[in-house]
Amino acid sequence: MMNMTDAIELIAQFEKTRILVIGDVCLDRFIRGDVTRISSEAPIPVMVSRQEHRMLGQAGNTLSNLSGLGVQAAIISVVGDDLNGEMIRTLIQDCGADASAVITSALIPTTVKTRYMSTHQQVFRVDTEPVQAYSTETENLLIAQIKKMIARYDAVILSDYGYGLLSDRLIRETIGLATEHSIPVLVDPRGSDLSKYRGAMVATPNKKELAEATHGMRVDTDETVILAAKQLIATSGIQNIVATRSQDGMSVIDSESHFVHLRTTAREVYDVSGAGDTVIATIAAGLASGASLVDAATIANVAAGIVVGKLGTAPIRHIELLEALKSPEGILYPPEDSHAAQIMDWEAARDQIEKWRARGLKIGFTNGCFDILHAGHVNYLNKARARCDRLVLGLNHDQSIRILKGPSRPVNDEISRATVIGGLSAIDLVVFFGAEKEGEDNTAGNLLRMIKPDIYFKGNDYTIDRLPEAPIMATFGGRVELIPLTEGLSTTKIIEKMRNPSESAA
């Protein structure tokens, strides 16, 4: 197997690869709120909605994982002629992927899965799904897109969620075209008869799917998984099987009966949904970059160990994978009893916040320059931390402070400021923000929109109606709280005293 250096070099090649995803796509909606009473109309809980998150699901989640890995990705799929379909197109474009081959159908609504969450529990789920088969006309349009595009890609993923987009004819056409161009096809399979994927290079069934495809063979041990995978290869014509096995990791079995078992690298498991999408995306990126199947699966196993520590169908990100590979234990963040707050980018901060929120923790946020840390800052931050379970600090980066306060500031650079303030027990996470040029938005508004804290703290030298962030908090159900400040203490006064000590003494 590859060493860490080889793995990192391989991941660096991902951005040069092009991968095409074909399959069912849906909109995943997560509505979070509080359940505090039972309805007077029926014995059911009443949930007050606080926040809503929308993300790509099914084949869209595979696409998001590819984009997160830096791959140049495109998707061929179908959405309804509705607002949810437009949202899916927007989300595809937002993640940097190509949505030009997404077909709109007036006959079939966009698939939507809406999950209602209270703390870390799912209260219930509402699905909107197609109620009729795709027409021959739609099938012809899909195949025409595949014929037009496939030669430009280094790998193809068939993401089958059983909604009918991947018809037997479409699968045959795709695998045939890919074979002509020597392009590997990877399949996230569905159904009891996987011979419809004959000729595919890799299939990635989970334990349940592997058992169904082998008419109920046992899959509870290494040995039984190997036997079932051999049987599936023999009967389906798929060349290799990568069986995903939850807490047992994954097993790679090829047509020559060679096998490798890769044990799980997950440190904490919050949600396994979407892990299969991460696995197939990472394997495809590895193969497209020239790796062997075992090496690609090894990296995919690390990626899966990261995403199961996230809430919902959150994709892997390139930087997370690199950090995990550099750590011998795959630990991305220090234990929570550490007093050294991590400095994270916006996406990593959002992922960490989702982990905390999955445990029912209340997330607070405050922001500022904190150029020279003083007692007033410490008092303020301690008061804020006492009103929430985790406190995230938005720290103006150096250029942002120059715009706010002039070329002589900051006194301390951003890394020094983040390191000092991150050492306070009140701070759990530090994120940089701010404008790069004069005239740009220099507030924390865009950061708030991404991480969506429960409470935004600000000093009581402001009023809520003067805070540009207050309306933003209201859009996702957050609230603003003003914290009393310690009178007579400020960074500006400290700097003046340092410059004119005699005047300050007088």
| pLDDT tens digits, one per residue of 123-139 | 889 998 887 889 999 99
Mean pLDDT, the chain, integer: 88
User: CA gyration radius for the chain?
Assistant: 26
In this predicted structure, the answer to whether residue 333 has a pLDDT above a threshold of 50 is: no
CB atoms within 10 A of CB 99: 19
pLDDT of residue 309: 64
Q: Hey, what amino acid is at 149?
A: M
| pLDDT tens digits, one per residue of 263-275 | 876 555 544 556 8
CB atoms within 10 A of CB 67: 23
Pick from 110-124, 357-371, 442-456 the range whose average pLDDT is largest: 442-456
**In the CATH hierarchy, which fold is given to the domain comprising 4-326?**
UDP-N-acetylmuramoyl-L-alanine:D-glutamate ligase (3.40.1190)
Tell me which DSSP letter residue 281 carries: H
| pLDDT tens digits, one per residue of 458-480 | 998 889 988 999 999 998 889 99
| pLDDT tens digits, one per residue of 353-399 | 887 876 678 899 999 999 888 888 999 999 999 999 999 999 999 99
pLDDT of residue 79: 96
| pLDDT tens digits, one per residue of 58-89 | 999 999 999 999 999 999 999 999 999 999 99
| Coil vs helix vs strand at 484 | coil
| pLDDT tens digits, one per residue of 26-64 | 999 988 888 889 999 999 889 888 778 888 999 999 999
| pLDDT tens digits, one per residue of 400-443 | 999 998 998 898 999 999 999 999 999 999 999 999 999 999 99
In this predicted structure, the answer to whether residue 340 has a pLDDT above a threshold of 70 is: yes
In this predicted structure, the answer to whether residue 338 has a pLDDT above a threshold of 70 is: no
Question: Under CATH, to which class is 342-505 assigned?
Answer: alpha beta
Q: What percent of the chain has pLDDT over 70?
A: 90
Residue spans in the chain of domains classed CATH 3.40.1190.20: 4-326
* Residue 188 designated active-site: no
Residue spans in the chain of domains classed CATH 3.40.50.620: 342-505
Contact 48, 133 (CB under 8 A): no
Contact 126, 104 (CB under 8 A): no
In this predicted structure, the answer to whether residue 492 has a pLDDT above a threshold of 80 is: no
pLDDT of residue 310: 64
Distance separating the N- and C-terminal Cα atoms of the chain: 72
Catalytic residue among 277, 351, 398, 428: 277
Q: 18 to each of 9, 151, 182, 423, 475, how far by Cα in Å?
A: 17, 10, 14, 43, 37
Tell me which DSSP letter residue 54 carries: E
Q: What's the mean pLDDT in 246-250? A: 84
pLDDT of residue 506: 45
pLDDT of residue 268: 54
- Per-residue pLDDT band for 3 (boundaries 50, 70, 90) equals confident
Contact 91, 28 (CB under 8 A): no
| Coil vs helix vs strand at 242 | strand
Q: What percent of the chain has pLDDT over 90?
A: 63
Indicate if the alpha-carbon torsion angle 433, 437, 442, 446 is positive or negative: negative
pLDDT of residue 120: 67
pLDDT of residue 329: 47
pLDDT of residue 503: 54
Q: Hey, what amino acid is at 454?
A: D
What residues have CB less than 8 Å from 316, skipping those under 6 apart? 65, 68, 69, 278, 281, 282, 303, 306, 307
pLDDT of residue 267: 52
| pLDDT tens digits, one per residue of 176-199 | 999 999 999 999 999 999 999 999
pLDDT of residue 501: 67
- Per-residue pLDDT band for 335 (boundaries 50, 70, 90) equals very low
